[in-house]
C-alpha cells in the first residue's frame, strides 16, 4: 500500500515526486512508454527559469528524477492497464500486477498524434518519425518533410535544417498557430520551404519498406502531386494518456482531464498534473508547477484523512 502513486515521469510527475518524497511520503513513480515525457524528445530549453545559458531537455528531466530519488522516490517501468478508482485505496493494474494507493497523481501527459494513414503507420521507424530530436541525425544531407503549423512544427523544421539538405514544411491551412517569433525564424531560414493548404494523402513507399516520398494535395486547387522525401516528421499535436481512467475521471471530448480546482479531479484523492489536463500552456515550467500543486494537495489530503 502506497501513500501516493504518481503516473508519469515528465516534468509534472518528477516534480510531484520531489515534493512528495521530501514530505516523506515515499512516492512510487510509474514510468510509461515515453520516459521523461516531452522534454526527453526536445533539444535545448531556453525558457526554463534558472538556466540563463539554456539546458538540454533530456538533461533537465533527468536532473529532476535524480533529485526525486535522492529524497526517496521509487521509479518502476510499466503500463497502467486498468484502474479502479471507485473507492480508496485506489487500485492500479500495472502490467500484470495490482498496486494500491491512498492518493493518485495522474501526470501521464499527452503523446504525439499521428495522421493515421495506413502507409504512415507502416513506415514508422523507416522514415516516418514523431521525434526530430531522436531521428534527425539519420537524415544528414537528405530531404526532409515536417508536418504541422504549430510551435512544434517550427521548432522541428528549424532543428532539422542542421541535418537535412532541404526541409519542406507542410501545413493544412494558410494561417499558423505557431507563435510569431518561431514562425519568423523558420521563414528566415533559407533551407525551409513552406507548402500551405496542403495535406498528405499517402506516404510512399510501403512496398520498398522505407520512405521515398509523399503524395500531397493542395486543398484549395485539388491538385495532387508526389514529392520525393527521405524523412517524414510529424508535429501535429498530442493526445492525452487517459485511457485507463475513462468512465471514472471526468474527461473532455478530446480525453483531457477536466480539472475541479487546484489539482483536483472529480474523485477526492486523485489529482492531476501537467499536459494530461493542460491543453493551453503545456510548458515544462507549468507542468512542474502543476506537479508541485498536486503533491501539496496529496499531502494535505492524506493528513486530513489520517494517513500520515
Active-site positions read: 131, 134-135
Number of other residues whose CB lies within 10 A of the CB of residue 141: 8
Beta carbon of residue 212, minimum distance to ligand NAP (angstroms, whole number): 21
Distance of CA 109 to the CA centre of its chain: 6
Binding of ligand NAP by 291 (CB under 6 A): no
Nearer to ligand NAP among residue 15 and residue 38 (C-beta) = 38
Q: Dihedral angle at the C-alpha atoms of 101, 104, 110, 116, nearest 10 degrees?
A: 50
- Taking the C-alpha atoms of residue 89 and residue 73, their distance in angstroms, rounded to an integer, is 20
Q: d(Cα 14, Cα 75) in Å, to the nearest integer?
A: 10
Residues 204-243 close enough to bind ligand NAP by CB under 6 A: 235-237
Task: Enumerate residues 144-203 that contact ligand NAP by CB under 6 A.
Answer: 147-153, 155, 172-173, 177
Minimum distance between the CB of residue 152 and ligand NAP, rounded to whole angstroms? 3
234 - beta bridge partners?
Answer: 147
Q: Are 35 and 134 in contact (CB under 8 A)?
A: no
Residues 239-278 that bind ligand NAP (CB under 6 A): none
57-60 long-range contacts (CB < 8 A, ≥24 apart) are 57/133, 57/284, 60/11, 60/284
User: Could you tell me if 133 and 264 are in contact, meaning their C-beta atoms sit under 8 angstroms apart?
Assistant: no
* 73 vs 284 by CB, closer to ligand NAP: 284
Beta carbon of residue 41, minimum distance to ligand NAP (angstroms, whole number):
11
Which is nearer to ligand NAP, 177 or 217 (by Cβ)?
A: 177
Least Å distance, CB 150 to ligand NAP, is 2
Residue 14 or residue 38: which is nearer to ligand NAP going by CB? 38
115 binds ligand NAP (CB under 6 A): yes
Smallest distance from the beta carbon of 176 to ligand NAP, in angstroms? 7
Binding mask 48-67 vs ligand NAP (x if CB under 6 A, - otherwise)? Answer: --------------------
Binding site for ligand NAP (CB under 6 A): 113, 115, 147-153, 155, 172-173, 177, 235-237, 282
Amino acid at each position: 500500500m502506497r501513500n501516493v502513486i504518481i503516473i508519469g515521469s515528465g516534468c509534472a510527475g518528477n516534480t510531484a515526486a520531489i515534493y512528495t518524497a521530501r514530505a516523506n511520503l515515499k512516492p512510487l513513480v510509474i514510468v510509461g512508454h515515453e520516459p521523461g515525457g516531452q522534454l526527453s524528445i526536445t533539444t535545448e530549453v531556453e525558457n526554463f527559469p534558472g538556466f540563463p545559458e539554456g539546458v538540454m531537455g533530456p538533461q533537465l528531466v533527468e536532473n529532476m528524477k535524480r533529485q526525486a530519488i535522492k529524497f526517496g522516490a521509487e521509479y518502476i517501468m510499466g503500463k497502467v492497464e486498468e484502474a479502479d478508482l471507485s473507492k480508496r485505496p485506489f487500485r492500479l493494474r500495472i502490467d500484470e500486477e495490482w498496486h494500491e494507493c491512498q492518493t493518485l497523481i495522474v501526470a501521464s501527459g499527452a503523446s504525439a498524434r499521428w495522421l493515421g494513414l495506413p502507409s504512415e503507420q507502416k513506415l514508422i521507424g523507416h522514415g516516418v518519425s514523431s521525434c526530430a530530436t531522436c531521428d534527425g541525425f539519420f537524415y544528414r544531407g537528405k530531404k526532409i518533410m515536417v508536418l504541422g503549423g504549430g510551435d512544434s512544427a517550427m521548432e522541428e523544421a528549424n532543428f532539422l535544417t542542421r541535418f537535412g539538405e532541404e526541409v519542406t514544411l507542410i501545413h493544412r491551412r494558410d494561417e499558423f498557430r505557431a507563435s510569431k517569433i518561431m514562425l519568423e525564424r523558420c521563414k528566415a531560414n533559407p533551407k525551409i520551404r513552406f507548402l500551405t493548404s496542403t495535406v498528405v494523402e499517402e506516404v510512399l513507399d510501403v512496398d520498398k519498406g522505407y520512405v521515398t516520398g509523399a503524395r500531397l494535395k493542395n486543398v484549395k486547387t485539388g491538385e495532387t502531386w508526389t514529392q520525393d522525401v527521405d524523412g517524414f516528421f510529424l508535429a501535429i499535436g498530442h493526445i492525452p494518456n487517459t485511457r485507463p481512467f475513462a468512465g471514472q475521471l471526468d474527461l473532455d471530448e478530446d480525453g483531457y482531464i477536466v480539472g475541479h480546482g487546484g489539482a483536483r479531479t472529480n474523485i477526492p484523492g486523485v489529482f492531476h498534473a501537467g499536459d494530461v489536463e493542460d491543453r493551453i500552456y503545456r510548458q515544462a515550467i507549468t507542468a512542474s508547477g502543476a506537479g508541485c500543486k498536486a503533491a501539496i494537495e496529496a499531502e494535505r489530503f492524506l493528513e486530513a484523512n489520517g494517513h500520515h
